[in-house]
């Protein structure tokens, strides 16, 4: 059997590596799993009633590109959140979760070659693993751009040589970022959008953590103006209800971009991705009209930020997140600390090296661990205190 070689560069997936690291070793205490970023806050109680009322529509093929109700709710949400008008039919594609969309959009938009060469895809380093898998699936060359602490854990795309940028097809950006919880400023986003116009590449702006933040709502790429004509032609925004509404199992997300881009992606989706069932689209539409549950969830995360600030206040390796629900802790050796936490405390976290890439084994994440603050407050406090004790 002949298998494609383009995936040979892929490292073992994050959680497979974590299982190998911990092996069959028993936990050193009651298990507190802080490894997976699966939201656990309550979602609105009316959801099951909404699904029941429309359950007869599970017998129908859903509209591939989204119901008119959901498309209108997405457009209205963008207007309320960013004060931007978008056309529900031309600028939006409903997707079966943004994970799939972030992967498939790279395949749909990355050209076979660029200026006679293999196209490049720029990735923040550390990164969400789907980005690198998508680049390789699209037969592109992934280029990792380090996101160091001195640059607020964001990649500095302005320092990349122009001749390199000329060969770039797509740039992935995550803000608020996973795993560091950093927020790109409006000036940062404007600089990147100007580069996109100048060097003619697409920006894939992953904004799935946009509604979880400390003080100020993070800016979105959609509201950024570059000074060039038709900014929507060079950017696609991705968001979902997984983090905002604590419903990763709903598998409902959306992409927003220029009309030509969305039309192209809809054609690609008609051959590939499954449509979201109508009852779930009805739930999604109603969720986007309701901010009360989002505010309540955000206030819980804000209390969790305060708890982390209190516990790690004296730790030099603590980097208070601006947004999202992860801590990115400098512990000197992420793998060693993750293993010790499991063996001695029963706390499961992920080594930062598993989210990053580097030559000869050196990665920008190797000093760090990623800690998901998704558990209830009591369990979270126990886990954070255990990590704090170990860091001391």
- 383: domain CATH number is 3.90.1150.10
- 146 domain-assigned: yes
For residue 359, what pLDDT is reported? 66
- 32 domain-assigned: yes
d(CA 121, CA 123): 6
For residue 307, what pLDDT is reported? 98
Q: Are residues 267 and 333 in the same domain?
A: no
pLDDT in tens, 30-66: 999 999 999 999 999 999 999 999 999 999 999 989 9
For residue 220, what pLDDT is reported? 98
Please say which residue of 258, 288, 318 terminates a domain.
288
- 74 domain-assigned: yes
Find out whether 215 and 185 touch, Cβ atoms under 8 Å.
Answer: no
Q: Are residues 307 and 349 in the same domain?
A: yes
Q: Are residues 385 and 350 in the same domain?
A: yes
d(CA 325, CA 301): 7
pLDDT band at 6 (very low <50, low <70, confident <90, very high): confident
pLDDT in tens, 252-266: 999 999 999 999 999
pLDDT band at 314 (very low <50, low <70, confident <90, very high): confident
Q: Are residues 328 and 239 in the same domain?
A: no
Torsion sign over Cα 40, 41, 47, 49: positive
Q: Are residues 329 and 221 in the same domain?
A: no
Find out whether 180 and 147 touch, Cβ atoms under 8 Å.
Answer: yes
Q: What CATH number has the domain bearing residue 124?
A: 3.40.640.10
Q: Count up the domains in the chain and report the number.
A: 2
Q: Are residues 207 and 305 in the same domain?
A: no
For residue 360, what pLDDT is reported? 62
Q: What is the CA 204 to chain-centroid distance, rounded?
A: 11
For residue 2, what pLDDT is reported? 77
- 365 domain-assigned: yes
pLDDT at position 27 over 90: yes
pLDDT band at 272 (very low <50, low <70, confident <90, very high): confident
CA distances from 169 to 38, 78, 152, 158, 176 (A): 31, 26, 25, 16, 23
Find out whether 237 and 102 touch, Cβ atoms under 8 Å.
Answer: no
- pLDDT mean over 268-279: 92
Q: Where are the beta strands (DSSP E) in the chain?
A: 32-33, 92-95, 120-125, 141-146, 168-174, 202-206, 235-240, 253-257, 326-330, 347-348, 350-351, 368-372
Burial (0-12, 13-18, 19+ Cβ within 10 Å), 1: exposed
Find out whether 196 and 203 touch, Cβ atoms under 8 Å.
Answer: yes
Q: Are residues 134 and 253 in the same domain?
A: yes
DSSP secondary structure code for residue 261 in this structure: H
Name which of 217, 220, 238 is nearest 298 in CA terms: 217
Phi, psi of 74 (to 5 degrees): -65, -45
Mean pLDDT of the chain: 95
d(CA 223, CA 74): 15
CA distances from 67 to 50, 93, 251 (A): 16, 10, 15
Q: What is the CA 249 to chain-centroid distance, rounded?
A: 16
Whole-model pTM: value is: 0.96
Name which of 387, 37, 381 is nearest 208 in CA terms: 37
Q: Are residues 112 and 256 in the same domain?
A: yes
pLDDT band at 238 (very low <50, low <70, confident <90, very high): very high
Please say which residue of 255, 288, 321 terminates a domain.
288
Q: Are residues 202 and 320 in the same domain?
A: no
Cα-Cα-Cα-Cα torsion 159, 165, 166, 167, nearest 10 degrees, comes to 150
- 267 domain-assigned: yes
Provide the 3-class DSSP secondary structure of residue 57: helix
- 7 domain-assigned: no
Find out whether 233 and 271 touch, Cβ atoms under 8 Å.
Answer: no
DSSP secondary structure code for residue 190 in this structure: H
For residue 161, what pLDDT is reported? 97
Q: Are residues 173 and 298 in the same domain?
A: no
Provide the 3-class DSSP secondary structure of residue 172: strand
pLDDT in tens, 346-381: 999 999 999 998 866 678 999 999 999 999 999 999
Please say which residue of 288, 315, 336 terminates a domain.
288
- 328 domain-assigned: yes
pLDDT in tens, 200-230: 999 999 999 999 999 999 999 999 999 888 8
Give the HSE-up count for residue 349: Cα atoms under 13 Å, Cβ half-sphere.
Answer: 34
- 69 domain-assigned: yes
Q: Are residues 111 and 227 in the same domain?
A: yes
Q: Are residues 253 and 296 in the same domain?
A: no
pLDDT band at 157 (very low <50, low <70, confident <90, very high): very high
For residue 343, what pLDDT is reported? 97
For residue 81, what pLDDT is reported? 98
Per the structure, the complete domain to which residue 82 belongs is given by 47-288
């Amino acid at each position: 059997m002949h298998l494609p070689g383009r995936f040979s560069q892929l490292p073992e997936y994050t959680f497979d590596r974590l299982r190998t690291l911990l092996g069959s070793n028993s936990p050193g205490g009651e298990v507190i799993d802080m490894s997976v970023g699966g939201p656990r806050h309550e979602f609105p109680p009316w959801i099951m009633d909404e699904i029941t009322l429309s359950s007869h529509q599970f017998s129908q093929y859903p509209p591939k590109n989204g119901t008119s109700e959901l498309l209108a709710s997405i457009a209205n949400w963008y207007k309320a959140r960013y004060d931007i008008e978008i056309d529900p039919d031309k600028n939006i594609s409903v997707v079966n979760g943004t994970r799939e969309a972030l992967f498939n959009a790279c395949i749909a938009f990355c050209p076979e070659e660029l200026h006679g060469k293999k196209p490049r895809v720029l990735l923040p380093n550390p990164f969400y693993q789907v980005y690198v898998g998508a680049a390789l699936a699209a037969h592109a060359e992934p280029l990792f751009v380090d996101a160091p602490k001195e640059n607020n854990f964001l990649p500095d795309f302005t320092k990349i040589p122009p001749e390199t940028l000329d060969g770039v097809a797509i740039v992935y950006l995550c803000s608020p970022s996973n795993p560091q919880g950093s927020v790109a400023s409006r000036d940062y986003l404007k600089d990147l959008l100007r580069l996109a116009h100048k060097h003619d590449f697409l920006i894939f702006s992953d904004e799935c953590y946009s509604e979880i933040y400390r003080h100020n709502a993070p800016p979105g790429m959609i509201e950024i103006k570059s000074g060039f004509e038709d900014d929507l032609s060079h950017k696609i925004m991705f968001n979902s209800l997984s983090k905002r509404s604590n419903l990763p199992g709903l598998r409902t997300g959306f992409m927003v971009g220029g009309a030509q881009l969305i039309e192209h992606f809809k054609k690609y989706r008609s051959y590939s991705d499954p449509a979201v069932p109508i009852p779930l689209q009805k739930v999604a539409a109603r969720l986007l009209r309701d901010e009360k549950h989002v505010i309540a969830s955000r206030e819980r995360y804000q209390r969790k930020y305060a708890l982390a600030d209190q516990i790690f206040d004296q730790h030099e390796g603590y980097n208070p997140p601006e947004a999202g629900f992860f801590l990115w802790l400098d512990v000197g050796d992420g793998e060693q600390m993750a293993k010790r936490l499991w063996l001695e405390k029963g706390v499961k976290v992920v080594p930062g090296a598993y989210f990053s890439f580097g030559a000869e084994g050196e990665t920008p994440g190797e000093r760090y661990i990623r800690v998901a603050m998704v558990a209830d407050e009591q369990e979270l406090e126990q886990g954070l205190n255990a990590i704090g004790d170990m860091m001391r």
